Structure 1
């Protein structure tokens, strides 16, 4: 894959921190970005601790298919990057917990700005405006979290008083300022602090460390979309504002489930069909949380359609999860 030695100041650098399980949705995310921004000079960076030969080949296909650089950063090979978890009693924290925290140091000689994205995001609009965004002397441009107030209150109970609370799934990072402020190291100190016992781990930690040092931008850059809530209400159509740039599928339910009745699955498949993962089977398993939400959706749908027997079967599954599992 491409060499990262040359600094390209005119490109938009986009970075991901994933494990093997999220390479497929990440590939679809990258495809959605390219398809909606064909004229944009894009450079992608994938940070991962280990990758199979099959997945590596898929990432290489992704670069060849779109003629866009895709740099693969194997964490264990980043010998020149200071491990933010080393030497401070944090060795027990897995690499997966701080992959995004490695990104600024690793890319400091490549770009002054990098857009970090979670892999459960789809791009649905023109993102060239980020290159014109003036974030001044702030450390990052961020978007308010959908549950900001409750999460902020939760941290207040731990003695951490914040002015606001952002979602860490989309971060437009000012790399020099991030490094100067030692954001990665300080965030890991918060994660490792047993007295804090942070519920949302690195997201909470980043909010504590970056409080008052970020620029909040419009939610079109991180439209947080909870499929759990949509299905609870029986809503299966995509309903995002036309100005949306990124749809972020927060929560335990994701669009790439084969049984997903929501229109988000069709959106995911649209971009998957254009990617090296075209034709790949979607996951068909359920987590306990997913079967609870899905069974609730299905029994209500069956009753609405007058399919009473099927509705009762699904209602029984819903009650089992509700009272036996404790949802």
Structure 2
């Protein structure tokens, strides 16, 4: 059976997306894949310039390019003026199910900053017969205020296994866009999906091992059991900052991404001379000066 995997890519995410696809193919050699790249940009980028090299990793896959029409993209609600942490492009993923050429029955959506560590066969075999989406918990349970029972778990929309027909038939996209237009939540598409799908009892919460968010160690919800067993982890998600390719990134969870990046044509993409001790020293020296400390923190997190 052919498995369909969709990405929404643009800006600086082309190389991370290539690394994600590489890891997907490398760790699922017995699966047939249809990888579909959705973007508002053209094909002149590092991903498509090197896509033929993926044939050395896997011998049964295709890669497709789908351009998001400008009129559809511009029709999305504007991002909130206050408290917005993502640009409009980040929630264009709500358009994906309605833009699929030759729509599959179901597909796996992955953010570009993901890394697949092991086989996803168990996830692909999961039944979606009674729900539209299967997704893993987010680090923080932001379910309060969504007019949803507090026993529900807020999920992260960076990894979603989706029943495409059910999504379209139940009008998930227009309902979520309407929610964003009316409420302007900070976590736009993610909060809208949580509100809409939970109110319908239309989401299946799955194991965090399929969306192991890199900040679990610092911000873990104590009510959710999370294991950093790399032999059992299906997908790492480098949500937030730092990313593995930032100077500030340091630790085993980031080293997994760097090891895969080294196998691609982009081994020099990430900083070669990370110096966390220098960063720590600078932060400590600036602690008496709150404004300078805040400025340095912002710079370090994004380089």
- Measured at CA, do residues 35 and 64 of structure 1 come closer, stay the same or move farther in structure 2, by a change above 3 Å? closer
CA contact 1:84–1:101 (8 Å) conserved in 2: no
CA distance in 2, matches of 1:61, 1:276: 11
Task: Please tell me whether residue 270 in structure 1 is matched to residue 259 in structure 2.
Answer: yes
Alpha-carbon distance, 1:186 to partner: 0.9
Q: How does 1:148-159 map to 2 (within 5 A)?
A: 148=141, 151-153=142-144, 155-156=145-146
CA displacement 1:146-166 (0-9 Å, x = unmatched): 211xx112x34xx56563311
Task: Please tell me whether residue 50 in structure 1 is matched to residue 60 in structure 2.
Answer: no
TM value normalised by structure 1 = 0.74
CA contact 1:84–1:188 (8 Å) conserved in 2: no
Alpha-carbon distance, 1:276 to partner: 3.3
Task: Please tell me whether residue 13 in structure 1 is matched to residue 4 in structure 2.
Answer: yes
Out of 97, 117, 131, the position equivalent to 1:124 is 117
CA displacement 1:232-274 (0-9 Å, x = unmatched): xxxxxx9445311011122221111245332334322211122
Out of 16, 23, 47, the position equivalent to 1:25 is 16
Bigger drift between 59-68 and 259-268 goes to 59-68
Greater fraction helix: 1
CA contact 1:108–1:176 (8 Å) conserved in 2: no
- Measured at CA, do residues 321 and 46 of structure 1 come closer, stay the same or move farther in structure 2, by a change above 3 Å? farther
Q: How does 1:41-120 map to 2 (within 5 A)?
A: 41-51=32-42, 53-55=44-46, 57-66=48-57, 67=59, 68-76=61-69, 83=72, 86=75, 90=76, 92=78, 96-107=89-100, 109-120=102-113
CA distance in 1, matches of 2:218, 2:279: 14
Out of 138, 142, 146, the position equivalent to 2:139 is 146
**Structure 1: runs of 5 or more not aligned:** 1-9, 231-237, 300-310
- Measured at CA, do residues 50 and 141 of structure 1 come closer, stay the same or move farther in structure 2, by a change above 3 Å? same
Secondary structure in structure 2 of the residue aligned to 1:152: coil
The corresponding residue for 2:301 is none
CA distance in 2, matches of 1:264, 1:241: 9
CA distance in 2, matches of 1:259, 1:57: 29
CA contact 1:225–1:247 (8 Å) conserved in 2: yes
CA distance in 1, matches of 2:217, 2:272: 17
Q: How many residues align?
A: 277
- Measured at CA, do residues 281 and 41 of structure 1 come closer, stay the same or move farther in structure 2, by a change above 3 Å? same
- Measured at CA, do residues 206 and 284 of structure 1 come closer, stay the same or move farther in structure 2, by a change above 3 Å? farther
- Measured at CA, do residues 197 and 95 of structure 1 come closer, stay the same or move farther in structure 2, by a change above 3 Å? closer
**Structure 2: runs of 5 or more not aligned:** 80-86, 220-226, 298-303
C-alpha RMSD over aligned residues: 3.2
- Measured at CA, do residues 222 and 265 of structure 1 come closer, stay the same or move farther in structure 2, by a change above 3 Å? closer
Alpha-carbon distance, 1:39 to partner: 1.5
Alpha-carbon distance, 1:15 to partner: 0.7
Larger Rg: 1
Alpha-carbon distance, 1:25 to partner: 0.7
The corresponding residue for 1:222 is 211
- Measured at CA, do residues 249 and 97 of structure 1 come closer, stay the same or move farther in structure 2, by a change above 3 Å? closer
Out of 281, 285, 297, the position equivalent to 2:269 is 281
Out of 227, 231, 236, the position equivalent to 1:242 is 231
Alpha-carbon distance, 1:284 to partner: 8.2
The corresponding residue for 2:202 is 213
- Measured at CA, do residues 271 and 160 of structure 1 come closer, stay the same or move farther in structure 2, by a change above 3 Å? same
TM value normalised by structure 2 = 0.79
